[in-house]
């Protein structure tokens, strides 16, 4: 009985123990099962079973819209092509103030977690329960995951799933990248408003600085904008931006990045937004060149492919395009254009046509009302306003009514845009009164284009007068004729020819053609070719082309890079062909390059977003002239500057350097040209109005020496003054084996006169006189 009682007692005590054990086992099973479930759940997320999950390759090479950047030869950023104005930087290019402000404000425990901050999540959860929320729980890495792989429109359930996916992506990012790389990537992906994507662009937009140059107050302001870029924009919402900057500074003080003294001193500093400048491809340096380059690069992208077989995208792939443009020379060229046209030539042109009673069709000259109306209607049809109204299929009479109705508009002036009220037709007439220009500089030995000015203001006048526009070249074509005579007939600059009229018998019963001189200086005398070219004598050009024939002249011009249409007729000796500034500068560069034509190029090389060189570019070379003939041409063209139509370089601008040149003026003074040559730089300039019927009435004002030459002088004086450019002032190099002295025909003529006098004296002595 006693034994049975003991067993019963023992069994009685064991029952509650068994229940506890079961509970413990249930808890353990639930815990382990939960862990396994969570693990499997996140695993299914990570392998993409619950929706998109980036692959390892996509994490290694996250896609973002990167702007392609245009750099000058001296490493100055000229501009960008983009959908989003974004350029990436590395961690070592960031200011430490940026890093401190970012970590203190967005993720104080950044260096302690592995992508997901459980402590921050617990704080958020507690805040949700208690209703006392204090900050978000997303880490910088989670925000980066969201930026790299943006959310779409999601339901609440999908949003929870997406949030969990971002946790997984954040952990993967932490595994694949260092903390510093994550910070740099994050700052590359965020937007700061004002069309500024990424910290590099934002630094330039708001402070005209690199990210490494930002001070603490600037860095704090930019980090503060991340919460709401438009709401805290310092330009539009100054006070809000100040308060937000103060919060960012207080966070830095809270986490011991700055002292109380630093906090108190920086928080009261004003926001200096004087350097704020929103990116705009229509303003800045080399606007016409950048637009020309856009067209070239779009063609290039179609025939060049990435590793995955896709063609490059100019607006998304972050190409780095290194051009031949020198930023200083470009700046000086644009300054020279502005100085001459804004301060001298354009005011003179307005004054020239101010008498409306005398010239009712001004600025059109010698046109009937019908001809003027036809030009104006053509201008109307080329306008953007007409294009969009026509796209909307508006009636023609309605369109014309709009163009004759006064409206508010902003129009160009050399002293800043003017807000005014006028009819669109009046604005077209106003714009036709402005003189345009095309300027290009090239190194003759390399073909590198160093400066490119396609017009006076790209925002208002977008037609490019360097590569697109083709205008009659006038007397700047004569060197082709003289070079042909030198090469084919063995002439030299001091060869004498008769300054008399030359008549051409024309085919098919057409009247004979006899070019006329603009004056009668030395008419009927024997003159040197140097004097003839210096004074742009038409009789001599006609004399030469009659001996070498037009076909030979065109053949030489083709070798020197001229591709435009030219008719093999005698009149080309006076400059009737219409050519571009690009063609004329390239061809003229053949002379200082010892007869070798180097095709002008604009790009030295192109890199991908990682700095790998995709392609390099070299100029094509063609032997066009022999070295001696090229040197003879330089001697001829030096005479233009010494005592010919380009002499004002010596007299007015006091330029004593070794310079060769050629002026050009077309009929009715519609086009003014100047080609200026130095041993290491050739620059061509055209000046004229959009319509050839708009021009000066007098050659004194409308000649190339007055319209175009001054731009060359002002440009080159700036180049010579800037010793960092090292522009050569040495004489033109003689070809090897050429021992003749520099052709100085005046000196030779003096020697001949002395010999004649000595001979006459000897004859007199022979007669005993």
The string of pLDDT tens digits covering residues 543-589 is: 999 999 999 999 999 999 999 999 999 999 999 999 999 999 999 99
pLDDT at position 119 is: 73
All residues at 6 or more sequence positions from 330 whose CB lies less than 8 Å from its CB, including other chains: 72, 285, 286, 289, 450, 451, 452, 453
655-659 long-range contacts (CB < 8 A, ≥24 apart) are 655/713, 655/716, 655/717, 657/716, 657/720, 657/729, 658/729, 658/730, 658/731, 658/732, 659/716
Phi-psi region of 172 (alpha: psi -120 to 50; beta: other; left: phi over 0): alpha
pLDDT exceeds 90 at position 109: no
Least Cα distance to 89 among 101, 79, 98 occurs for: 98
Q: What is the pLDDT of residues 704-744, one digit of tens each?
A: 999 999 999 999 999 999 999 999 999 999 887 666 655 77
Tell me the mean pLDDT in the region 611-624: 96
Question: Distance (Å, rounded) from C-alpha 206 to C-alpha 241?
Answer: 13
The backbone torsions φ and ψ at residue 605, rounded to the nearest 5 degrees and listed phi first, read -160, 165
pLDDT at 503: 92
Segment holding 613, helix H or strand E: strand 613-616
List Cβ neighbours of 635 (8 Å cut-off, separation of 6 or more): 493, 530, 742, 743
What is the structure's pLDDT at 82?
86
Q: Element (H or E) spanning 20, and its range? A: helix 2-46
Rounded to the nearest 5 percent, the helix, strand and coil shares of the chain are: 50, 15, 40
- Tokens (6 digits) for 272: 């200096």
Q: How far apart are CA 506 and CA 387, in angstroms?
A: 45
Enclosing H/E stretch for 187: helix 179-189
User: How is 374-397 classified by DSSP, letter by letter?
Assistant: HHHHHHHHTSHHHHHHHHTT--HH
At 261, list the tokens: 């003294």
Q: Is the pLDDT score of 218 beyond 90?
A: yes
Contact 188, 199 (CB under 8 A): yes
Q: In terms of Cα–Cα distance, which of 510, 536, 533, 527 is closest to 666?
A: 536
In terms of Cβ atoms closer than 10 Å to its own Cβ (0-12, 13-18, 19+), residue 206 is buried
Query: How far is it, in rounded angstroms, from Cα 591 to Cα 635?
Result: 10
Which alpha helices (H) appear in 61-117, and where do they start and end?
96-106
pLDDT digits (tens, 9 = 90+) for 48-83: 545 555 555 555 566 677 889 999 999 999 999 988
pTM for the structure as a whole: 0.82
CA distance 550 to 40: 86
pLDDT in tens, 415-449: 999 999 999 999 999 999 999 999 999 999 999 99
Handedness of CA 744, 745, 750, 755 (dihedral sign): positive
> Mean pLDDT, to the nearest integer, of 377-383?
91
What is the average pLDDT value for the chain, to the nearest integer? 86
Distances, alpha carbon 41 to alpha carbons 26, 35, 49, 164, in Å: 21, 10, 10, 10
Distances (CA, A) of 56 to 177, 309, 733: 12, 20, 61
Lowest model confidence (mean pLDDT) among 51-60, 133-142, 624-633: 51-60
* Predicted local distance difference test score (pLDDT) of residue 194: 86
Q: Which residue is listed with tokens 């200086």? A: 521
């Amino acid at each position: 009985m006693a034994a049975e009682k003991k067993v019963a007692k023992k069994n009685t005590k064991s029952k509650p123990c068994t229940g506890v054990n079961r509970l413990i086992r249930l808890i353990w099973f639930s815990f382990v099962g939960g862990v396994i479930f969570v693990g499997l759940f996140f695993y299914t997320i990570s392998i993409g079973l619950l929706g998109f999950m980036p692959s390892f390759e996509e994490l290694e090479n996250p896609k973002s819209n990167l702007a392609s950047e245009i750099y000058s030869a001296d490493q100055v950023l000229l501009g960008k092509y983009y959908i989003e104005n974004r350029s990436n930087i590395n961690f070592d290019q960031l200011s430490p103030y940026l890093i401190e402000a970012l970590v203190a404000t967005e993720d104080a425990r950044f260096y302690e977690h592995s992508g997901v901050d459980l402590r921050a999540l617990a704080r958020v959860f507690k805040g949700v329960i208690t209703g006392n929320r204090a900050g978000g729980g997303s880490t910088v890495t989670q925000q980066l995951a969201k930026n790299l792989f943006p959310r779409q429109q999601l339901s609440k359930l999908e949003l929870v799933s997406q949030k969990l996916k971002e946790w997984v992506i954040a952990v993967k990012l932490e595994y694949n990248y260092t903390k510093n790389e994550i910070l740099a990537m994050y700052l590359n992906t965020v937007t700061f408003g004002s069309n500024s994507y990424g910290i590099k662009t934002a630094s330039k937009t708001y402070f005209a600085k690199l990210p490494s140059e930002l001070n603490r107050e600037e860095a704090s302001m930019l980090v503060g904008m991340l919460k709401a870029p438009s709401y805290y924009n310092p330009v539009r919402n100054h006070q809000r931006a100040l308060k937000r900057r103060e919060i960012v500074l207080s966070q830095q003080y809270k986490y011991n990045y700055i002292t109380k003294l630093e906090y108190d001193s920086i928080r009261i500093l004003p926001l200096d937004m004087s350097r704020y400048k929103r990116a705009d491809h229509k303003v800045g340096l080399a606007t016409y060149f950048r637009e020309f380059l856009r067209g070239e690069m779009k063609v290039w992208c179609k025939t060049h492919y990435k590793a995955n077989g896709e063609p490059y995208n100019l607006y998304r792939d972050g190409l780095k395009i290194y051009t031949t443009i020198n930023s200083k020379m470009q700046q000086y060229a644009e300054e020279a254009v502005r100085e001459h046209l804004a301060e001298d030539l354009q005011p003179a042109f307005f004054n020239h046509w101010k008498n409306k009673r005398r010239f009712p069709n001004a600025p059109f000259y010698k046109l009937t009302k019908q001809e003027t109306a036809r030009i104006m209607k053509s201008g109307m049809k080329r306008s953007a306003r007409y294009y969009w109204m026509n796209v909307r299929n508006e009636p023609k009479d309605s369109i014309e009514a709009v163009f004759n109705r006064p409206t508010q508009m902003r129009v160009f002036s050399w002293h800043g845009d003017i807000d005014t009220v006028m009819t669109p037709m009046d604005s077209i007439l106003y714009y036709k009164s402005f003189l345009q220009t095309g300027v290009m500089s090239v190194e003759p030995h390399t073909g590198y284009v160093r400066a490119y000015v396609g017009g006076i203001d790209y925002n208002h006048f977008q037609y490019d007068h360097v590569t697109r526009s083709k205008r009659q070249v006038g007397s700047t074509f004569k060197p082709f004729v003289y070079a042909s005579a030198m090469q084919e007939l063995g002439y030299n600059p001091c060869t004498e020819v008769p300054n008399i009229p030359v008549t051409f018998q024309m085919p098919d019963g057409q009247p004979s053609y006899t070019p006329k001189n603009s004056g009668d200086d030395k008419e009927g005398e024997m003159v040197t070719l140097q004097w003839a070219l210096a004074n742009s004598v038409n009789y001599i050009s006609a004399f030469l082309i009659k001996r070498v024939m037009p076909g030979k002249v065109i053949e030489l011009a083709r070798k020197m890079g001229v591709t435009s249409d030219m008719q093999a007729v005698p009149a080309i000796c006076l400059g009737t062909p219409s050519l571009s500034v690009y063609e004329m500068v390239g061809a003229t560069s053949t002379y200082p390059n010892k007869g070798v034509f180097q095709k002008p190029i604009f790009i030295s090389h192109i890199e991908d977003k990682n700095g790998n060189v995709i392609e390099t570019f070299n100029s094509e070379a063609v032997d066009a002239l022999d070295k001696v003939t090229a040197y003879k041409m330089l001697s001829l063209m030096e005479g233009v500057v010494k005592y010919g139509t380009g002499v004002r370089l010596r007299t007015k601008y006091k330029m004593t350097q070794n310079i060769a040149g050629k002026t050009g003026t077309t009929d009715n003074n519609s086009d003014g040209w100047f080609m200026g040559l130095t041993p290491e730089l050739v620059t061509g300039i055209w000046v004229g109005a959009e319509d050839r019927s708009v021009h000066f009435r007098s050659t004194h004002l409308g000649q190339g020496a007055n319209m175009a030459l001054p731009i060359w002088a002002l440009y080159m004086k700036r180049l010579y003054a800037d010793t960092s450019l090292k522009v050569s002032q040495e004489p033109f190099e003689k070809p090897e084996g050429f021992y003749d002295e520099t052709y100085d025909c005046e000196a030779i003529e003096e020697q001949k006169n002395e010999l004649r006098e000595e001979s006459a004296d000897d004859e007199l002595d022979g007669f005993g006189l």
